[in-house]
Amino acid sequence: MTTTEQRLAAIRGDMPARRHNARTIAALTGNPGCTRRAVLDGAGVDKTRLAERIGFPARFGQSRFAISRGNAFEAQVKADGGAELLRLVAERLGVSPGGPATWTDLNADGPAQRHERSRELLTAAVADASPALFDHPLLGLEIAGQRVYLEPDLVAARLAGRYHVVEVKSFPVVDGQADPGKVAAAAIQSAVYVLALRELVAAAGHDPELVSTDVVLVCPRDFANQPVASLVDVRRQLLVLRRQLARMERIDALLAGVPADFTADPTAEPETLVAALRTVDAHYAPDCLAACELAFFCRHEAGGHTAALGRPVREALGGVATVAEALALADGDHPGEPDQAEAAALLRAAARLRAEALAGGPT
């Protein structure tokens, strides 16, 4: 009998399983209903290579300039043993730092030693009373049976009696507002770190609630290098993340609906890969373009379907699968099925409003 591990290995072929990081784990929550993505990620398929192989390369990612700018800003706010960072975090939490904090740089060790040292120091911090800052600790999390290592920018311990994940981002806060999309992405990525830190604390026999769901986000103010701190509540993101990770743990149930000969080996012929991918259900939405390496293939595949227009349209037009069918319902050329009555009424109303707008007013 083929085990789950053997099945997943066969799906990715001779390629080593691709390890997740906080960004890829966060991206999993963007489309939890997509079986195709869940299976590919569960198998550890290199989706970047796969997308290139089938002729739909991914077109997102951070530029070198953005990465350099982010590294420079992070180094600036962490200078002098994190003194300014401690002040910002404490001020945002509404507490007194209670004196200078200890600063522990965990960058120097190798992965295995660094993870173990991070675990020891972070769990030992529960018993101490003075504030402590841990620079780039290495946390662990189980993703579909694989141990994944994660690296938050900073963990602040014993401020307001709790642990807080601190993320340093280079996108600006202008007039008190930051790009909502970037804040949302930072929130779900930070929720990954909160989950990993809570599991670490719980494994040591402590209350996971010691890890706050209020994440401190540090960004430059008004395009300058002056840092400003904001609190982001990631409770909702944490719930979504737990649900999706639990779904990936049930990979056997997902594989039950996948053909036995399904392959996503990036070395296979493009025609073979395209045919195989089309046998596994996808759940394309426009926001996949910013989060999934296969989004351009899935968009091409979904062409002419209402699902390609986004979740709000798909939900409003429940039961109307194609754009052609939606247009026919809007024009009244097609009465529609009984379960399409609500969508048909909505489409006809929209068509009437459009006609009135083009005519210059109500008819």
The predicted-structure confidence for 82-118, as pLDDT tens digits, reads as follows 888 888 999 998 887 766 788 988 886 666 788 899 9
| Terminal C-alpha separation, the chain | 69
pLDDT over 80 (residue 204):
yes
pLDDT over 80 (residue 316):
no
Of 241, 265, 293, which residue is a domain's last?
Answer: 241
Q: Are 179 and 171 in contact (CB under 8 A)?
A: yes
Q: What is the predicted pLDDT for the residue at 47?
A: 92
Q: How confident is the model at residue 20 (pLDDT cuts 50, 70, 90)?
A: confident
pLDDT over 60 (residue 363):
no
State whether 192 and 69 are in the same domain. yes
pLDDT over 60 (residue 183):
yes
What lies within 8 Å, CB to CB, of 104 at 6+ separation is: 121, 132, 133, 134, 135
Average pLDDT over residues 151-176: 90
Query: Structural domain tally of the chain?
Result: 2
Is residue 315 domain-resident? Answer: yes
Instruction: Give the residue carrying structure tokens 């062409």.
Output: 303
Average pLDDT over residues 327-344: 69
Q: What is the predicted pLDDT for the residue at 315?
A: 63
pLDDT over 90 (residue 42):
no
Average pLDDT over residues 296-316: 76
State whether 211 and 342 are in the same domain. no
pLDDT over 70 (residue 53):
yes
Q: What is the predicted pLDDT for the residue at 54?
A: 96
Show the domain range for 228.
64-241
How many CA atoms lie less than 13 Å away from 199 in the CB half-sphere? 17
Tokens of 172: 């600006």
In this structure, the number of other CB atoms found within 10 A of the CB of residue 351 comes to 15
- CA atoms of 49 and 37, how far apart (whole Å): 14
Is residue 171 domain-resident? Answer: yes
Greatest CA separation for the chain: 75
pLDDT over 90 (residue 32):
no
Q: How confident is the model at residue 1 (pLDDT cuts 50, 70, 90)?
A: very low
Average pLDDT over residues 30-51: 86
Q: Are 168 and 52 in contact (CB under 8 A)?
A: no
Of 241, 259, 288, which residue is a domain's last?
Answer: 241
Q: Where are the alpha helices (DSSP H) in the chain?
A: 4-12, 22-28, 35-43, 47-53, 64-77, 79-93, 111-124, 180-203, 235-249, 251-255, 270-277, 295-301, 311-316, 323-331, 341-359
Instruction: Give the residue carrying structure tokens 């601190």.
Output: 166
- CA atoms of 290 and 296, how far apart (whole Å): 10
pLDDT over 70 (residue 358):
yes
Say which range, 59-73, 275-289, 301-315, has the weakest mean pLDDT: 301-315
Q: How confident is the model at residue 362 (pLDDT cuts 50, 70, 90)?
A: low
- CA atoms of 255 and 266, how far apart (whole Å): 19
State whether 112 and 211 are in the same domain. yes
Is residue 168 domain-resident? Answer: yes
Q: What is the predicted pLDDT for the residue at 111?
A: 67
Say which range, 54-68, 109-123, 146-160, 200-214, has the weakest mean pLDDT: 54-68
Q: How far is CA 77 from CA 62, 122, 171, 228, 233, in A?
A: 21, 22, 14, 10, 22
Amino acid at 157: A
Average pLDDT over residues 230-257: 86
Tokens of 32: 């939890």
Average pLDDT over residues 239-260: 83
What CATH number is associated with residue 146? Answer: 3.90.320
pLDDT over 80 (residue 310):
no
Is residue 8 domain-resident? Answer: no
The pLDDT tens digits of the residues spanning 213-233 come to: 999 999 999 877 899 999 999
What percent of the chain is predicted at pLDDT more than 90? 33
pLDDT over 90 (residue 271):
yes
Q: How far is CA 193 from CA 87, 139, 158, 241, 247, in A?
A: 22, 8, 17, 11, 19
Is residue 272 domain-resident? Answer: no
Of 241, 267, 295, which residue is a domain's last?
Answer: 241
State whether 85 and 187 are in the same domain. yes
Q: How confident is the model at residue 207 (pLDDT cuts 50, 70, 90)?
A: very high
State whether 144 and 226 are in the same domain. yes
Q: What is the predicted pLDDT for the residue at 38?
A: 85
State whether 350 and 212 are in the same domain. no
Is residue 277 domain-resident? Answer: no
Average pLDDT over residues 280-300: 87
The shares of helix, strand and coil residues in the chain, as percent rounded to the nearest 5, are: 50, 15, 35
Is residue 3 domain-resident? Answer: no
Compute the mean pLDDT over every residue in the chain, rounded to the nearest whole number. 84
The pLDDT tens digits of the residues spanning 129-152 come to: 788 999 999 998 887 666 788 999
State whether 76 and 175 are in the same domain. yes
Q: What is the predicted pLDDT for the residue at 197?
A: 95
State whether 330 and 226 are in the same domain. no
State whether 227 and 333 are in the same domain. no
- CA atoms of 204 and 187, how far apart (whole Å): 26
- CA atoms of 216 and 237, how far apart (whole Å): 15
